Structure 1
Amino acid sequence: MPVTLFIKKFLFLIPLIALVLCEKTRFDNYVLYKVLVENDQHYRILVDLKNNNFKYDIWNDHISLGRYVDIMSSPEDKAELEKLFQKYELKYEIANENIQEVIDKENAIIKTYTRSNIRSMEWNAYYTLDHIYGWLDDVAAAYPNVASIVIAGKSYEGRDIKGLKISHGPGRRVIFIESGIHAREWISMTSACYVINELLISNNTQAHAAAQDYDWYIFPVTNPDGYVYSHEQNRLWRKSRRPIGNNFGVDLNRNWNSNWLVVGASTNPQSLTYAGPGPFSEPETRALSNFIRSIGDKIDLYLSVHSFGQYLLVPFGNSTGAYANYYDAVNIGRRAMGALAVRYGTLYQTGNIAEVLYLATGGSDEWVKEHVRVPLVYCVELRDRGLNGFLLPEDEILPNNQEYMDGVLELIYQAERFGYMNSGSRIHISMFILLITFFISFL
């Protein structure tokens, strides 16, 4: 073997060797603070902390006035952080004194999927990438006439970016769902799988009608390398896993070529919001964007699913301006979130990214809206509002998924009422009305 080729192969193996040698990251006695942003000074201090001090993990993508910010600190750094709070009169409370205890409890609800038994998938649990992908393969095998595996491309470490297409025949418009672009947002992955379950496997007649009316493309894990790493090494890992100097990973939801690096992203590879060396620099975003563009003229509704915060957001994140069909999108979204709230009373806020939260650009939803010109594009931030954050407990997983599905079906219904998504014909009754009728029947 030529020396240069050997060196290249060895360099490629260095990150893998390091992974084998390193121990799994633990968060013993790591503290989670909830800090109130009361004024402009507080806002500037916390944004500076997020962008320039990487000792702390600020869980919120979005910092804005009048809201709480969730900040995790190691036990070694907590005294310094509390001094900062006191110096600038930042009101705070301790939400959790030992993050590792929560992670240990969560480990107990990571289940094993039984191959060739699609109904063995449980909806109050989390699953590894292998089990999710195995389930997708089995669903496609169980419903060969309507379901098929689609591969958007490969991740940096060579994993498939795997999704499922559901189609009852040609000529239908498309609903596209991508989730799991941030590795630690585990609830987004299971919510995508739950939508598949409702469309094909469950007894949900409204969902079955939606499956027949539209072609669905659902990608539960669009950052497979990061998701595997969040299971095997660091539960709170967010980014991809490509080596960047002495650091790893890019925030894949800041890497899309729509107002790239304009605001709300970082040029520092240490940052959780590092946007990469250039737009579409990462194999994951290049692959997914190419796949989306290949069917873009057929897509009527696009959902980018994240956690947490309970928001339904429309593009764009660089301005509070009412761009494109803003008023229709917001009205449709608010009605859908009204239906979502009926089941458990969970409240979502709807609006554009900049007006509801803060300025941020480079996300998949913005690129899809700007460049593919999909009529209805939303970014969904699932449960909760910060009590558990990324570590959503067992008793909230199924309720989250159920209400999210209610919201998706109502989005379709309301979109049809507003003159969008013209291939629909069977979702005649609002989910909101159905759920109200359901509750009245028990009075």
Structure 2
Amino acid sequence: MEMKIISLFLYLMGILCLVYCEKFRFDNYTLYKIYPKTEIQISLLQKLQENDLNLDFWTDPVPNAKYVMVLSSPKNKESLENIMNKNAMAFEVAQSNIQESIDKELVASSTRMIDGRWNTYYKLDAIYGWLDTLATRYSGVVTVIYGGTSYEGRPIKGVKISHGPNKKAIFIEGGIHSREWISPATVNYITNELLSSKDDKIQAVARDFDWYIFPVTNPDGYVWSHEEFRMWRKNRRPTIGNSIGVDLNRNWNNNWLAQGSSTNPASDSYAGPGPFSEPETRSLSTFISSIGDKIDLYLSFHSFGQLLLIPFGNTTEPIANYHDALHIGKKAMKTLSVRFGTQYVTGNIAEAIYLATGGSIDWVKEREQVPLVYCYELRDRGTHGFVLPPEQILPTSQETMDSILELIHEARELGYMNSGSTVGASILMMILLLITNLL
């Protein structure tokens, strides 16, 4: 009798969970692609972004923006369209029901191993379990490492790949914005290639450097985006009032809150109450600093837009080794385009996308003086946005791996990443540019 009561209780709890704990759905949410042509139209969209938090701006309405992506609920759809029509803004419906795309995303259960299956998005437990497996399978080469702990107590888990002592390092950071699922997926693919590829070039770079790889640096947000709210971007720390979360890529201590972030705790770009206010950024930056003098190349992975960004986000001035980094990046993106024809734009954050500060790559560049620092904004250019179909995971990852090999090759050609020496790189670049101009 007691067992029947327990079974009935569990059954009723299950029903209640279905009713009250169901994941938020985006049925009939419309994704718009808006084409502002005038300063007035840009200004209007900026005011909407700032004041109407019911609209989810997937891209920012900045001057010279070719398009602005906005996700609207059915409730707000008519109002948004009226505003656009009244102000003669051209627009198109990129997706009329975003939930249909979400339903097509293949998500593996937490118990399923990754191991070469690149047509699926994986939950955090699956990723972390796979990292543990790699450490066992490649013992002596792979070590599990920890970049800190999240607000909800989850580890920021990664791996170090090392084939011997006294090597310079390449650092890879993914998943700091939780809804950008293609970021951890691509980082996982890169990790797998470094360990199992038969390609001579990949084997060589795997051996030549220590690789520090963190596929998910916002574990709480990533779990929330899988279990509760697919479009969640921030971490999960309660802030002011009923608001939750800080944009971890606006929380680093470099020109914090200067540009491209919000003081509104309800905003997706809320920078937090102060720089490094969040346990994730605070602990990860401490880890980075502990090996900062070893890092030759820092790669951060985001989506979307097909951009390769270099520091800085507060100015378009070509400061630091801008010309070297730009030259190397453009060569790498040319290589990326070979396999599938995917086109990327290369530039610093402020010139290629918008003014935005408080991000990881600016802090790494200025604070740790890492020679080469890049941020990938992976596929696509707005057709699917954050809901990139699973069949694009493999081609995205393959072309990205191609480009990383070229980044390293071109960096070495200019004197970087050779036994840690960057002496003469900028001088060599100036000579090359002078010769090019004379020809």
What is the deviation of 1:394?
A: 2.1
Paired position in structure 2 for 1:110:
107
Structure 1 residues 286-301: aligned runs within 5 Å: 286-301=282-297
Q: 2:146 aligns with which of 138, 142, 151?
A: 151
Q: After superposition, what is the alpha-carbon deviation per residue over 1:281-330, rounded to whole angstroms, capped at 9, x for unaligned?
A: 00000011000000000000001110000000111111100010000000
Paired position in structure 2 for 1:368:
364
C-alpha contact (below 8 Å) 2:110/2:123 kept by paired residues: no
What is the deviation of 1:339?
A: 0.5
What is the deviation of 1:64?
A: 3.9
Structure 1 residues 403-422: aligned runs within 5 Å: 403-422=399-418
- With over 3 angstroms needed to count, the CA separation of the structure-2 counterparts of 1:54 and 1:331, relative to structure 1, is same
* Secondary structure at the counterpart of residue 256 of structure 2: coil
Q: Indicate whether 1:323 and 2:319 are aligned.
A: yes
- With over 3 angstroms needed to count, the CA separation of the structure-2 counterparts of 1:277 and 1:87, relative to structure 1, is same
Cα distance in 1, alignment partners of residues 183 and 90 from structure 2: 31
Q: Which amino acid in structure 2 is aligned with residue 363 of structure 1?
A: G
What is the deviation of 1:92?
A: 0.3
C-alpha contact (below 8 Å) 1:118/1:139 kept by paired residues: no
Q: Indicate whether 1:257 and 2:253 are aligned.
A: yes
What is the deviation of 1:405?
A: 0.4
Paired position in structure 2 for 1:271:
267
Q: After superposition, what is the alpha-carbon deviation per residue over 1:172-206, rounded to whole angstroms, capped at 9, x for unaligned?
A: 10000001000000000010000011000232221
Cα distance in 2, alignment partners of residues 206 and 43 from structure 1: 46
* Secondary structure at the counterpart of residue 319 of structure 2: coil
Q: Indicate whether 1:379 and 2:375 are aligned.
A: yes
Cα distance in 1, alignment partners of residues 60 and 400 from structure 2: 21
Paired position in structure 2 for 1:432:
none
* Secondary structure at the counterpart of residue 121 of structure 2: coil
Cα distance in 1, alignment partners of residues 95 and 266 from structure 2: 25
Q: 2:309 aligns with which of 313, 324, 338?
A: 313
Paired position in structure 1 for 2:74:
75
- With over 3 angstroms needed to count, the CA separation of the structure-2 counterparts of 1:29 and 1:68, relative to structure 1, is same
C-alpha contact (below 8 Å) 1:113/1:135 kept by paired residues: no
Cα distance in 1, alignment partners of residues 123 and 145 from structure 2: 19
Cα distance in 2, alignment partners of residues 22 and 64 from structure 1: 41
Cα distance in 2, alignment partners of residues 300 and 238 from structure 1: 29
Q: 1:236 aligns with which of 227, 231, 240?
A: 231
Paired position in structure 2 for 1:204:
199
Cα distance in 1, alignment partners of residues 420 and 366 from structure 2: 24
Q: Which amino acid in structure 1 is aligned with residue 134 of structure 2?
A: V
Paired position in structure 1 for 2:187:
192
Cα distance in 1, alignment partners of residues 156 and 409 from structure 2: 30
C-alpha contact (below 8 Å) 1:174/1:299 kept by paired residues: yes
Paired position in structure 1 for 2:117:
122
Q: Which amino acid in structure 2 is aligned with residue 188 of structure 1?
A: S
* Secondary structure at the counterpart of residue 378 of structure 1: strand
Number of positions where the alignment pairs a residue of Structure 1 with one of Structure 2: 404
Cα distance in 1, alignment partners of residues 142 and 420 from structure 2: 19
Q: Indicate whether 1:178 and 2:177 are aligned.
A: no
Cα RMSD (Å): 1.8
Structure 1 residues 91-106: aligned runs within 5 Å: 91-106=90-105
Cα distance in 2, alignment partners of residues 242 and 393 from structure 1: 29
What is the deviation of 1:66?
A: 4.4
C-alpha contact (below 8 Å) 1:307/1:382 kept by paired residues: yes
Cα distance in 2, alignment partners of residues 227 and 340 from structure 1: 27
C-alpha contact (below 8 Å) 1:31/1:72 kept by paired residues: yes
- With over 3 angstroms needed to count, the CA separation of the structure-2 counterparts of 1:64 and 1:137, relative to structure 1, is farther
Paired position in structure 1 for 2:214:
219
- With over 3 angstroms needed to count, the CA separation of the structure-2 counterparts of 1:66 and 1:239, relative to structure 1, is closer
Q: Indicate whether 1:131 and 2:126 are aligned.
A: yes
What is the deviation of 1:224?
A: 0.1
Paired position in structure 2 for 1:339:
335
- With over 3 angstroms needed to count, the CA separation of the structure-2 counterparts of 1:62 and 1:339, relative to structure 1, is farther
Q: Which amino acid in structure 2 is aligned with residue 239 of structure 1?
A: K
Q: Which moved more, 1:53-62 or 1:297-306?
A: 53-62
Q: Indicate whether 1:161 and 2:156 are aligned.
A: yes
Percent identity of the aligned residues? 60
What is the deviation of 1:80?
A: 0.5
What is the deviation of 1:22?
A: 4.4
What is the deviation of 1:357?
A: 1.3
Paired position in structure 1 for 2:347:
351
What is the deviation of 1:41?
A: 1.4
Normalised by the length of structure 2, the TM-score is 0.89
What is the deviation of 1:46?
A: 1.5
C-alpha contact (below 8 Å) 2:304/2:380 kept by paired residues: yes
Q: Indicate whether 1:44 and 2:43 are aligned.
A: yes
What is the deviation of 1:62?
A: 6.5
C-alpha contact (below 8 Å) 1:62/1:358 kept by paired residues: no
* Secondary structure at the counterpart of residue 317 of structure 1: coil
* Secondary structure at the counterpart of residue 222 of structure 1: coil
Normalised by the length of structure 1, the TM-score is 0.89
Q: After superposition, what is the alpha-carbon deviation per residue over 1:107-137, rounded to whole angstroms, capped at 9, x for unaligned?
A: xx1124766x663x41121000000000000
Runs of 5+ unmatched residues, structure 1 = 1-17, 426-443
What is the deviation of 1:60?
A: 1.4
Cα distance in 2, alignment partners of residues 272 and 207 from structure 1: 37
Cα distance in 2, alignment partners of residues 220 and 118 from structure 1: 13
C-alpha contact (below 8 Å) 2:296/2:420 kept by paired residues: no
Q: Which amino acid in structure 2 is aligned with residue 104 of structure 1?
A: D
Cα distance in 2, alignment partners of residues 62 and 398 from structure 1: 31
* Secondary structure at the counterpart of residue 213 of structure 2: strand
* Secondary structure at the counterpart of residue 224 of structure 2: helix
* Secondary structure at the counterpart of residue 225 of structure 1: helix
